[in-house]
Structure 1
């Protein structure tokens, strides 16, 4: 069945919606539901994209394409348009609906209070399409109709969602691997210090992020590279384990 199809029988019509949740303890485990942003009209189309990351190193003497190494899957992406119309309501306005989408791109009060600011996690649901758990990456609103006093009555919002990174498997039952709370795709001009400041409010945590992600040279981040962002308490435990390992190594060298 095409993912854009809808039932023709109004008694079985299912409306698409985006559930907005507090960030959960791990990807796929959302926190408490904050609100639901409903589609007034089901989307006419829905774009879903998935890609894999490959890395190749140029070889000057090679006469063919260099070999590529698989680096893992990229987060799934989804794009959908939401149509809002308040022309049939007295003194209606679509501004509140649009602002609800914008609000889903800003940190929740609870996460800010814990000194772990994060935008909400969301679930897109529409019929059988209920397994997407991620976050709203961007919202673009276009107002298309206004009342005589300038009140927006219709709007089309383009919403881009991105899947949260899955929890990587541990190497063994005692490895104590971290559970990524989120993931950041590196853009041009990004640095680990800037990412650490945005995620934890402390740029000095760049060393911990480098350790967790196995980054040997933090000055050479590549656009498109994915940096896993553990919760702050787990990052602190990782720091403690690393300090303990170094202390043991120094003791053995004496």
Structure 2
């Protein structure tokens, strides 16, 4: 039984008159003690109800965070013995998750106009943030009562600098079957909210924020850029024409003259199959 629960039982017995030799200061400040008792109940009882809810829940399970050492999330984090570090399972699932998405535009105003003209600049990475509770009173999990160990396990995966990759680890947050978020940590705030009489923390609230991470090769595949301000290398298929390739690459065949000049072509209708052509940035990005 945790220290916290034993204290509550003692205080309850005092209120019901079962203990006559209670400390004088407790009797004197009984009204204040009652208020404190009620506040403690508000904190502990919801955690006990949530702990029971977690045990009964088998489909979704607990949220987990895993560490990886490569940007493609294929190589799990390993310890000094070259064994894979197990994912960190949260004690209690977050009450809510906040997903942030945004679009950035250039809003420079053209001279002699009444309003700025918004032009697309970039789509920042998605952001995920949530709060978790680590409770080491034994109420949630009797086998996890060491706050220092819990914090260390979590920090090792998401926060600690990894000298092999010269940065903190890549992180995957997983909850249920549909939520899987590849990311890196951007903030990690700890607030200790409950302590033992000796000052050791029993409960902590941790606020974490992550930024989605997508490797450059994956970004390139996802974007499928078809724009005249980006260079392309195209392998020619026999029988295809240069205007056709311009239409295919840029959705605009009118740039075939510039491509022909750049590649020193004296013809553009009968190209040699297998040769590689460079489609240069015809339009410079703003």
SS in 2 for 1:48: strand
Q: Indicate the residue corresponding to 1:46 in structure 2.
A: 97
C-alpha change, 1:58 and 1:13, in structure 2 (3 Å) is closer
2:63 to 1, 16, 27: 16
Q: Equivalents in 2 of 1:11, 1:53: separation in Å?
A: 41
2:73 to 20, 26, 29: 29
Q: What TM-score comes out, normalization by structure 1 length?
A: 0.56
1:109 and 2:159 are equivalent in the alignment: no
Deviations 1:83-128 (Å, cap 9, x if unpaired)? 11111259933222223344432321322xxxxx111000000013
SS in 1 for 2:167: coil
Once the two structures are TM-superposed, the CA of residue 71 in structure 1 deviates from its matched residue by 1.7
Q: What TM-score comes out, normalization by structure 2 length?
A: 0.50
Once the two structures are TM-superposed, the CA of residue 8 in structure 1 deviates from its matched residue by 9.6
Q: Please show how residues 57-136 of structure 1 align to structure 2 within 5 Å.
A: 57-64=108-115, 66-88=116-138, 89=142, 92-103=145-156, 104-111=158-165, 117-136=166-185
8 A contact 1:52–1:74 mirrored in 2: yes
C-alpha change, 1:67 and 1:174, in structure 2 (3 Å) is same
8 A contact 2:60–2:177 mirrored in 1: no
1:172 and 2:221 are equivalent in the alignment: no
SS in 2 for 1:169: helix
Count of residue pairs brought into register by the alignment: 161
Listed as ranges, the gaps of 5+ residues in structure 2 are 1-52, 78-84, 222-230, 236-286
C-alpha change, 1:98 and 1:60, in structure 2 (3 Å) is farther
C-alpha change, 1:7 and 1:13, in structure 2 (3 Å) is farther
Q: Equivalents in 2 of 1:31, 1:142: separation in Å?
A: 32
Cα root mean square deviation, aligned: 2.8
Listed as ranges, the gaps of 5+ residues in structure 1 are 1-5, 112-116, 176-254
Which of 1 and 2 has higher RCO (CA within 8 Å, sep 6+)?
1
SS in 1 for 2:114: coil
Q: Equivalents in 2 of 1:84, 1:46: separation in Å?
A: 17
Higher helix share: 2
Once the two structures are TM-superposed, the CA of residue 7 in structure 1 deviates from its matched residue by 8.8
Higher strand share: 1
